[in-house]
């Protein structure tokens, strides 16, 4: 009976050891499994963070490239502000004292700088081929003629009761102050429709003016005083005034919606940079 009891106890102990061993094995397996899973997760998150960093760097690099592109405005024109074609004449820039030009006859009694005559004639001829009737109504003016026009505009305002100072200031928005007008350079002409010769807003609606606004750049002429640029040009309204600047310049100005003042500022940046490089 004792022997049987002894055998029974040993069996129980043996069974318990087996259970404990199994539990231990399960525990060890679980720990190993957990460890492996943890390792994998750590690896994955490391890879992910590297990717994010790479992505971040790439995005930063792309952004930097875009900014660099924006800052680096390519000067894709071969002009400089010393070219005769880009002579800037306005209220702040008088015609240089020793400025001279060779004049050539145009239609009727008109004259212009001989360098612009050929393209001007070509432009008018091409417009006429389209069945239009553009005519030159103003071209080269002597300084005396400019004075005469300016004085008579000033007088108009004087008659309306303005002081001399105010009258002169107001006149200068319509007729350039002598010495600051492009007509004195021989590089500008006023062109109107033969059928509508008024210098007012109706002029812009004529077929001739529409054609010139669209096509003059092809011949090297720029609409000198666009109405929406009057804050810069200081000239109110002259959609009939065309200034020769050369085909390359006129095309760039038209494509980038720049008036002459803006275009010259644009070119000056490059000249300053080039100058710095030389110094």
Interface ranges with Zn ion (CB under 5 A): 190, 241
C-beta closer to Zn ion: residue 46 or 108: 108
Residues 183, 186: Cα–Cα separation, whole Å: 5
C-beta closer to Zn ion: residue 219 or 241: 241
- How far lies 98's CA from each of 94, 139, 172, 188, 262, in Å? 11, 20, 24, 19, 25
Residues 176, 164: Cα–Cα separation, whole Å: 16
Residue nearest to Zn ion (CB): 241
Half-sphere exposure of 160 (CA within 13 A, CB side): 12
Write down the least CB distance from residue 140 to Zn ion, Å.
11
First-to-last alpha carbon distance for the chain, in angstroms, is 118
Under 8 Å between Cβ of 174 and 153: yes
Write down the least CB distance from residue 89 to Zn ion, Å.
12
C-beta closer to Zn ion: residue 244 or 267: 244
Write down the least CB distance from residue 62 to Zn ion, Å.
49
C-beta closer to Zn ion: residue 138 or 207: 138
DSSP 106: -
Catalytic positions, written as ranges: 238
Residues 172, 3: Cα–Cα separation, whole Å: 134
Write down the least CB distance from residue 107 to Zn ion, Å.
16
């Amino acid at each position: 009976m004792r022997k049987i009891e002894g055998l029974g106890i040993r069996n129980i102990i043996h069974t318990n050891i087996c259970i404990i061993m199994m539990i231990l094995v399960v525990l060890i397996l679980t720990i190993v499994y957990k460890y492996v899973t943890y390792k994998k997760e750590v690896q994955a998150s490391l890879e992910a963070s590297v990717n994010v960093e790479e992505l971040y760097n790439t995005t930063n690099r792309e952004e930097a490239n875009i900014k660099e592109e924006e800052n680096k405005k390519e000067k894709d024109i071969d002009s400089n502000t010393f070219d005769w074609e880009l002579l800037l004449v306005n209220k702040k820039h008088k015609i240089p004292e020793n400025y001279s030009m060779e004049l050539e006859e145009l239609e009727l009694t008109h004259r212009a700088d001989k360098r612009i005559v050929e393209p001007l004639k070509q432009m008018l001829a091409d417009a006429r081929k389209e069945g239009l009737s553009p005519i030159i109504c103003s071209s080269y003016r002597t300084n005396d003629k400019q004075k005469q026009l300016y004085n008579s505009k000033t007088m108009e305002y004087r008659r309306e009761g303005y002081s001399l100072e105010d009258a002169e200031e107001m006149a200068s928005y319509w007729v350039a102050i002598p010495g600051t007008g492009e007509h004195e350079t021989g590089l500008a002409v006023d062109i109107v429709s033969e059928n509508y010769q008024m210098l007012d807003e109706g002029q812009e609606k004529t077929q001739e003016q529409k054609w010139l606004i669209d096509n003059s750049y092809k011949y090297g002429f720029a609409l000198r005083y666009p109405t929406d640029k009057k804050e810069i040009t200081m000239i109110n309204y002259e959609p009939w005034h065309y200034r020769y600047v050369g085909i390359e310049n006129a095309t760039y100005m038209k494509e980038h919606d720049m008036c002459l003042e803006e275009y010259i500022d644009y070119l000056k940046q490059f000249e300053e940079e080039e100058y710095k490089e030389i110094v």
